[in-house]
Amino acid sequence: MRIFLLRARWVYFLFYGAWAAFIPFLPLYYQSLGYKGGQIGLLTSLVPLITLVGAPVWGGLADATHHHRRVLLGAMLGAMAAAGVILGARSLGWLALGIGAYAFFNAPIVPLVDHSVLSMLGERRNEYGRIRLWGAVGWGLSGPLAGWLAGNYGASAPFGLYLLVMGLAWLMTAGLNVSPGVGSGNYWKDARLLLRERRWWFFLLVVFFAGVAGSTVNNYLFLYMAELNAQQTLMGLALAAATVSEVPALFFSSKLVKRLGARGVVLMALGAYIVRLLLYSVIQAPWQVLLVQLLHGLTFASLWAAGVAYAHELAPRGLGATAQGVFNATLMGLGAITGALTGGFLLERLGGAGMFRVVALAVLIGALIFLVADRRQRQNHPIG
């Protein structure tokens, strides 16, 4: 088990390090090819849209066939091949095809690794955060290097780093004992059990609102900072502060989950999101954003660690990868798309401060619905 967990740390470190050299630099690459705002927005929206479909489809395929390791390794190869298509594309059609293929193949990677780590941890699954934090470390180290490559060698230079680090991640994953899961032997029977679990739907509801909040921040914080006359250097520092805050949040998430339970940490993260959004709306000076960004660990990182654990807890045996895929699709797919669309609408009509306040209210409503409905369901149908 120790060797497995060591490899898992390296997989997270390398995969997120590769991701940091790719996703943040795609808009810059599109711009370097001469595409305008509307075209860039279209290409950017493809990733969460296809993740919404791809993550549960791949997770379901892995659970139904019990070939989790093959699916994971194949998806990683597909993501690297798609990155190659993106790098060589010059027309919008080929570029969109490459982005779509990348999003589809990339979608199941983290859910499948998460599922395997949680299955290996068993009753010690509250320790997941201490393993997953190496992904934040990989992102934090790779991002500045990728930025240096882009600044000195062009917008496509970070993609070479992506392919190199992703290749190392594939080699490390090839030696990972990916859990196949053991269910009833009837995938659709197990799936119906999950679909009939009301707590599952309440959980997805609250994950959706968290995805909306996170997407609003990710897509529009820099525009809001521009309203406050912030310099681009400060924007970079804001991104760094958010990344650094993930490490302690993930490190101590095991203690939080043990003390509050996964459900309790999810609610805590939602509360932190509400505070974070409201603080954005009342700051007077751009540098104050840096202080608010330190809440990123309590919002996204804690939510992710607890959400992964809660999805694993609710999933019937043999449906772990499917549950992780749906969780990922709801947070990073449906929630992200909704946040991007509604955030743009609110920003145009209410300004940045008004946008953050409305989204904070929506998250509060979602948290209250989850708290009341989930508690009632637990009283009527306790877990056996």
Residue 382, pLDDT above cutoff 60: no
pTM of the entire predicted model = 0.79
Tell me which residue of 307, 336, 308 sits closest to 213, measured CA to CA. 336
> Could you count the other beta carbons within 10 Å of the beta carbon of residue 5?
16
What's the pLDDT at 182? 57
Q: Are residues 41 and 134 in the same domain?
A: yes
What's the pLDDT at 180? 59
Q: Are residues 159 and 290 in the same domain?
A: no
Average pLDDT over residues 189-205: 80
Average pLDDT of every residue of the chain = 84
Q: Are residues 117 and 166 in the same domain?
A: yes
Banded pLDDT at 37 (limits 50, 70, 90):
low
Q: Are residues 3 and 98 in the same domain?
A: yes
What's the pLDDT at 383? 47
Average pLDDT over residues 221-234: 78
Distance CA 122, CA 252 (A): 19
Q: Are residues 168 and 255 in the same domain?
A: no
Q: Are residues 137 and 234 in the same domain?
A: no
Distance CA 159, CA 163 (A): 6
Q: Are residues 108 and 189 in the same domain?
A: no
40: domain range? Answer: 1-181
Maximum average pLDDT range among 35-39, 169-173, 199-203: 169-173
What's the pLDDT at 186? 67
What's the pLDDT at 276? 95
| End position of a domain, from candidates 152, 181, 210 | 181
Maximum average pLDDT range among 119-123, 216-220, 371-375: 216-220
Q: Are residues 32 and 164 in the same domain?
A: yes
Name the least confident of 28-42, 90-104, 240-254. 28-42
Name the least confident of 110-124, 179-193, 313-327. 179-193
Residue 368, pLDDT above cutoff 80: yes
Banded pLDDT at 73 (limits 50, 70, 90):
very high
- Among left, alpha and beta (phi > 0; psi -120 to 50; other), residue 368 is alpha
| End position of a domain, from candidates 140, 164, 181 | 181
Name the percent of the chain lying above pLDDT 90.
21
DSSP string, 120-149: HHGGGGGGHHHHHHHHHHHHHHHHHHHHHH
Name the least confident of 167-181, 258-272, 281-295, 334-348. 167-181
List alpha helices for 228-287, DSSP H: 232-251, 253-282
The CATH code of the domain that includes 125 is 1.20.1250.20
Q: Are residues 39 and 158 in the same domain?
A: yes
Residues 44-60 have pLDDT tens digits of 788 888 888 888 888 88
Which is more confidently placed, 382 or 364? 364
Q: Are residues 209 and 311 in the same domain?
A: yes
| End position of a domain, from candidates 164, 181, 198 | 181
Average pLDDT over residues 76-80: 95
> Could you count the other beta carbons within 10 Å of the beta carbon of residue 306?
26
What's the pLDDT at 384? 40
Q: Are residues 123 and 211 in the same domain?
A: no
Report the number of distinct structural domains present in the chain: 2
**CB–CB of 211/331 below 8 Å?**
yes
Which residue, chain included where needed, has tokens 């898992």?
8
Q: Are residues 173 and 322 in the same domain?
A: no
Residue 138, pLDDT above cutoff 80: yes
Say which DSSP state 24 is in.
Answer: G
